[in-house]
Amino acid sequence: MKKVSIIGAGPAGIEAASVLAKHGISVMLFEKSSSPLNNIMDKAYLFPNFQSAMEIADDLSGRLLNDKITLVPDTEIVDVKWQGTDWKLFDAKGQTYVSDVVLIATGYQVFDAKRKEELGYGIYKGVITSLEMEKMIKYNQILNVSGDIPKRIAFLQCVGSRDEKSGNHYCSKVCCVTAVKQAIEIKKMIPTVDISIFYMDLRMWGQGFEEMYRKAQEEYGINFVRGRISEAAATFDSRVQLKSEDTLMGVPLKMTADLLVLMVGMEPSAGTRNIASRCEICGDYGFVKTISPHLYDSETGKPGLFAAGTCKRPNCIEDTVNDARSAAYAIMEYLNTL
């Protein structure tokens, strides 16, 4: 019986496991945390349709209920080695597993905003990340540092993306639409709040994104300012003073907000970095590199070693899940040749 091991139980790992299991293939699904889907559970509502993240997580978790799938939680895979005919996987506790195929689905982590010192994250309490805002929305507790309903919130795009100083030249793809999504959700909860989104380019690439942007302007009165915030500082009353240029007006801009939300980018997770480098398939910025993005995007060039989802590049759930299905089919084709 041929065996497939999948590293990472996010949307990519789960969807690939589910497709393979439906085709009668046994899958071991390793997850370093105690439960799967952590990068979904920490969100409230998802773009593009404001569907609850819980609903998506439940649907995906349901796909694991197949006796061909063995979920192995609390198990971090730290090394993967080709042994001539099959792969050997090593976990952090020293246990090993043998498998014909390995699918890397180790995903992403968000950029550590402390690395952008000038924005004051970790120093001023009023400066928060998009993930922290997501939590505030989820628990309906959008409060400023003093515990009051905020009067003004500013968003800053491209934190840790498109940035020479943090070494990430790429665009993280999901944060433009996430800022607009969060701004709308906040407005629904606190209609009186004034929201400004500081952007350099608004990348509304997906179906429904541009319409969401229109809605944000037309129905929710959200302001869009073209300029990157250069610095943030705290005021005596624990608000945040920020500096930017309004590049469309060509004048410097100052603003005091209760909260400054940093739209942190997507970086390869520690697991992605580690496995990519150990298997010598490290691409740009530590993401996994495939043979070609067009026609061989599941294949790594090593026999029986495949990759799916955001371990390769930033992406949304829809594209991640479709990509995982492609990987499952590529794996089945490979198994047929053995």
Partner 1 sequence: MPDFGFSIKTARTENLDKVSLEKYRELLRKVPSFKRCFQCGCCSATCSAQQYTNFNIRKVHTSFRRGEYNLLSEELKKCMLCGKCTLLCPRGVNLRSLIMNMRQLLEEPVK
CB 47 within 8 A of CB 212: yes
Are the beta carbons of 122 and 159 closer than 8 angstroms? Answer: no
Query: Which partner, partner 1, ligand FAD, ligand SF4, none, binds residue 269 by CB below 5 to 8 Å per kind?
Result: ligand FAD
- Of residues 100-159, those binding partner 1 (CB under 8 A): 118, 158
Nearer to partner 1, 87 or 121 (CB): 121
Instruction: List b or e across 153-168, with b for residues whose CB sees 16 or more CB atoms inside 10 angstroms.
Output: bbbbbbbbbbbeebeb
Under the binding rule (CB under 6 A), the answer on residue 287 touching ligand FAD is no
Q: How far is the CB of 51 from ligand FAD (least distance, A)?
A: 9
Q: Give me the least distance between CB of 251 and ligand FAD, in Å please.
A: 31
Closer residue to ligand SF4 in complex, CB, 4/158: 158
Biggest distance spanned by C-alpha atoms of the chain: 69
List all residues 6 or more positions away from 55 whose beta carbon is below 8 Å from its beta carbon: none
What number of chain residues touch ligand FAD (CB under 6 A)?
Answer: 39
Q: Is the peptide bond before 11 cis (omega within 30 degrees of 0)?
A: no
Q: Does 181 bind ligand SF4 (CB under 6 A)?
A: no
SS3 content of the chain, % helix, strand, coil (to 5): 30, 30, 40
CA–CA gap between residue 301 and residue 306 (Å, rounded)? 8
Closest CA relative to residue 117, chosen from 262, 231, 264: 231
Question: Which of ligand FAD, ligand SF4, partner 1, none does residue 229 bind (CB under 5 to 8 Å by kind)?
Answer: partner 1
Count of residues that bind partner 1 according to CB under 8 A: 23
Q: How many CB atoms are closer than 10 A to CB 146?
A: 12
Q: Is 223 in the site for partner 1 (CB under 8 A)?
A: no
Binding mask 67-106 for ligand SF4 (x = CB under 6 A): ----------------------------------------
Please report the sign of the dihedral spanned by the C-alpha atoms of residue 15, residue 18, residue 24, residue 27: positive
Q: Pick from 13, 107, 120, 265 the residue near ligand SF4 by CB under 6 A.
A: 265
CB 16 within 8 A of CB 308: yes
Give CA 314 to chain center in angstroms: 7
Stretch that binds ligand SF4, among 80-88, 114-122, 133-141, 156-164 (CB under 6 A): 156-164
The interface mask with ligand SF4, positions 199-218, x = CB under 6 A, is --x-x---------------
4 belongs to the binding site for ligand FAD (CB under 6 A): no
The contact set with ligand FAD (CB under 6 A) reads 7-13, 30-33, 36, 38-40, 43, 46-47, 76-77, 105-108, 110, 130-131, 174, 178, 266, 269, 271, 309-310, 315-318, 320
